[in-house]
Chain A
Amino acid sequence: MTVKMINLTIDGKKIGVPEGTTLLEAAKLEKVKIPTLCYHDDLCIAGNCRVCVVEVEGWRVLPAACATPAMEGMVVYTNSPLVRRARRDILALLVSEHSTQCTTCYRSTNCELQELAAEYNIDNEIYINLIKDKHFTIDRTSWAIEKDETKCIRCQRCVRTCAELQKVNALDVIHKGANMKIATFFDTVMSEVVCTNCGQCINRCPTGALTERRYIDEIWDALGDPEKHVIVQTAPAVRVALGEVLGFEPGVRVTGKMAAALKHLGFDSVLDTDFAADLTIMEEGHELLDRLKRKLVDKEDVSLPLMTSCSPGWIKFIEHMYPDHLGHLSTCKSPQQMFGAIAKTYYAERKGLDPKNIVNVSVMPCSAKKYEANRIEMNDSGFQDVDLVCTTRELGHMIRQSGVDFKEIPEAKFDPFMGDSTGAAVIFGATGGVMEAALRTAYEVVTGREVPFDGLNITPVRGMDGIREAKVKLENVLPEWSFLEGVELRVAIAHGLTNATQIMDDVAIGNSPYHFIEIMACPGGCIGGGGQPIPTNAEIRRKRAEAIYTEDEKMVIRKSHQNPEVIQLYKEFLGKPLGEKSHHLLHTKYVRRERV
């Protein structure tokens, strides 16, 4: 099908664009930047901030460039006196309704309103300050997410994120006119609503209205306390994104620098969540095989497909939305929590530390991990397994505060024990990674051979399509797995909770053709997590994912079951996967929750 071309003039230049192109896109093709606020690459068009207005010859009004398609013969001015004046007025209006406490704002220097206000010289208070008379609140009830109404510009990016990408609808618009604002159902506090803590709204908030609850001060306090042994673990997706907040382009791997910086910050042990990711694969892979056996051999009524449980946003989502189907979830804790439980037991023992003096800090690409660490179930070590969770962004702040020159710092390695990992663990950070890692191990356990994919790269499960599926035939299996001979293992992957519902709706009616399903709450998986650097878009997420797969290829060991430290852990402490100790420390239960 040939696309119809539309001819128009932008700022004096005649151009042709495919039909359906918006004026914003057309200008971008011409390298003209039109400012925007409510626009976001990942979301549908709202056209409500009106900052992107342009002048069109013969039009009575200035249309919003984001929402107006190019039309034949249009003559557009993106920077006429009328346009500039209107934009400046609109920005001044937004500022008048905004708490302009930039000096005390977490998002300062990474705020779209601040940037535009500076660009358009909103350098004095033209209009009356409206904030003073409004009874705005700052909601700090959630473990994970802070919502500050005084900084909201009502662009509804969060509302669209929560509805379109996540189908959670925890945030919506309430009231009208001067009282219109973004709120939860009945304006209930954030800790009491269906919010999954995924933080996707934070990633798309142009200002400081939605931020993660910060634990930076508590972490510094722990580091400064000589009584405490402070352990830090870092999730796979952090190392491919941290660079973005410290002066690198998206997609640059900073693993070694990060380890070095963490040591500089004063952590007593700089360890790796990746170690626990390998451990997760051991447990979860065997759980899958165990369920298959119980189903096929023992004819038990076990829940299949098995669904992954690494993503705490997904866990809270399924607990709210599909409480009758929690049996499908793997009982495995997430790598963060496995790490926490092992660190305060086995690691403490090995190192001769009193677990009560251990402070487990984790650096996560995620805001939901903050909530997860505080779930009441998560204290199997006898203490809260993970004490403090900070995001990639918070770590960026801490590194800047420490004065380290991140660009120049020489690379370092993670500390031994619980610092070793495999390529299978690192790919946990991208959508499809847990599946790939699990297949690499499960296939080999069953057949004694490597997965039949070139260079161990199971490409069908990779990529950014919202839902993907793959099949692996099990042939010539080892004798003890003979019941799996000829079975075609069917797997699926979804990322973003809207995609998850598509898969889950089939599971709920018992109509799912799969054996094993990986679900990540965030678009792109953890690399697109709610704790990752802002901004985000498909291109940035693609680059981070690429970096993850490069990191995998560079690893010597690329299969979880070959992680020497994990092997040692089983030998010395846990016994075997799904064993009694594992059961106690590494597995968990889920909670039925209400929908509102």
Chain B
Amino acid sequence: MAKRKLKRVDLIFSQDCSCKDILTAALKKSREEIIQELIDSGLKGRGGAGFPTGLKWKMAAAEKGNRKYVICNADEGEPGTFKDREILDRVALKVLGGMALCAYVIDAREGYIYLRYEYRFLIPKLEKMIETFHKWMDEFDLDFRVKLFIGGGAYVCGEETSLIESMEGKRGEPRNKPPYPTNQGYLGKPTVVNNVETLVYTMMIMRIGAEEFKAMGIEGSSGSKLFSVSGDTHKAGIYEIEMGMTLEDFVKEFGDGDTKAVQVGGASGFCVPRKRFKETTIGFQGGLKGFSLPTGGSMMIFNSSRSMYNVLHNYLEFFEEESCGQCTPCRVGCQQLLKGIEAIKRGEKSHRYLNDLMRLSETMKLTAKCGLGQSVANSFASIVENFREEMIY
């Protein structure tokens, strides 16, 4: 099984290069060259779904028409993650640079940064950056303008189609897919939605080249990624780390010596118990026996003092409230999972009811309309499977 030693990387926040220089060089290349370079780099979206970025841009570029949009997803709603905020605060021009690259590749004139409601304090700073950025665009003779859009404050609005709905002034409810945004997005036009971090990496790949980026990480999960480390650790914070480390290495570095489990990927991610640390590699699913990293790269460390029932209860409360409520499996399923574990804990339902709930969570994963409802089963099943006694007694 492929894996890597835990290695810190410094690409995202590095200040040793000028964004303008990167853009100057990149914009000399053809669209096809840039797409190919991104595909070769193996870069996958850092917003959760892990879709290959080069491919996404290629699809949008292939669409006809000249009204297309680039949207930077800065809704960052996953509890315990704040890496996008950090990026926008410290290296916003890199994000804007990534948007310009995308606009150039897909032929878009307008871009938006969909900023999480709670991040409004960043507005003055971002507006200044955008002003500078627009001057560059003029210098590059690139007809591209970026505006800020302030989000409505719901977690589900981070889901790309829901985000688009809310930008169109509608209720933030996820759409049916297909069609995907690259085909019919904002105002029905081809749209690329990328996470803040993804956009920065496109710039970094332009700087260091696909080869060097791909040299990091492992098959199927190349490069590095920002991780938000929290929970029972003395080193809470944001770290850029090469992909492919084992959880064992991770816990050695960040744990407090008494780690009982790590929640990989936040509420919508997986809970990995101690006995699995060795065999678990952090990277995108597929190809390797690891766990996906839905949204944010959140790594939450729990030591033995934690009640996993409480952990799960918190997650379920979060989902029960943050589900947009439109689809049955998610709206009702979340309520049932929450009420279900409470009833078992109180002894009103037998422990066998956990099996019904496990099946229900599987149904939610298969049938919910969007990623929110589909991923509730991740934390639910992995916590219940590994900490069944804690659920009952």
Give the interface of A toward B (CB within 8 A): 45-51, 53, 61-62, 64, 67-69, 82, 85-86, 89-90, 93-94, 96-97, 126-128, 130, 153-154, 156, 172-173, 175-180
Contacts and interface: CB of A to CB of B under 8 A. Distances in A.
A90 B363 contact: yes
Nearest to B325: A180
A177 B321 contact: yes
Contacts of B359: 85, 89
Contacts of B328: 48-51, 90, 93-94, 153-154
B323 A61 contact: no
B320 interface: yes
A128 B332 contact: no
Given A128-B339, A173-B326, A180-B326, A50 B332 contact: no
A47 B360 CA distance: 19
A45 B177 CA distance: 12
B324 A86 contact: no
A177 B366 contact: no
Given A89-B359, A175-B325, A176-B322, A96 B178 contact: no
B176 A45 contact: yes
Contacts of B319: 177
A62 B367 CA distance: 5
B91 interface: no
Given A69-B178, A96-B336, A128-B339, A89 B325 contact: no
B148 interface: no
Interface in B304-361: 319-329, 331-336, 339-340, 343, 349, 356, 359-360
Given A50-B368, A50-B369, A61-B365, A130 B332 contact: yes
Contact of B340 (A82, A85, A128): A128
Interface of B is mostly: helix
Nearest to B357: A127
Interface in B171-206: 171, 173, 176, 178
A175 B327 CA distance: 14
A93 B327 contact: no
Contacts of A48: 326-328, 369
B156 interface: yes
A176 B321 contact: yes
B374 interface: yes
A89 B171 CA distance: 27
B154 interface: yes
A51 B368 CA distance: 10
A178 B321 contact: yes
A176 B325 contact: yes
A93 B171 contact: no
Contact of A177 (B176, B323, B365, B374): B323
Given A64-B176, A180-B324, A90 B367 contact: yes
A47 B326 CA distance: 9
Contact of B335 (A53, A64, A130): A130
17 contacts: A49-B328, A53-B366, A62-B366, A85-B363, A89-B363, A93-B329, A93-B332, A94-B332, A97-B335, A127-B360, A128-B336, A176-B154, A176-B323, A177-B322, A177-B325, A178-B335, A179-B325
Given A130-B335, A177-B322, A50 B327 contact: yes
A55 to B, nearest CB: 9
Given A90-B367, A94-B332, A127-B356, 9 more contacts: A94-B328, A96-B336, A97-B331, A97-B335, A130-B332, A172-B171, A173-B171, A178-B323, A180-B324
B356 A154 contact: no
A156 B331 CA distance: 14
B363 A177 contact: no
A246 B26 CA distance: 73
A497 B328 CA distance: 30
Interface string B34-65: 00000000000000000000000000000000
Contacts of B367: 50, 53, 61-62, 86, 89-90
B352 to A, nearest CB: 12
A429 B326 CA distance: 37
Nearest to B155: A176
A235 to B, nearest CB: 37
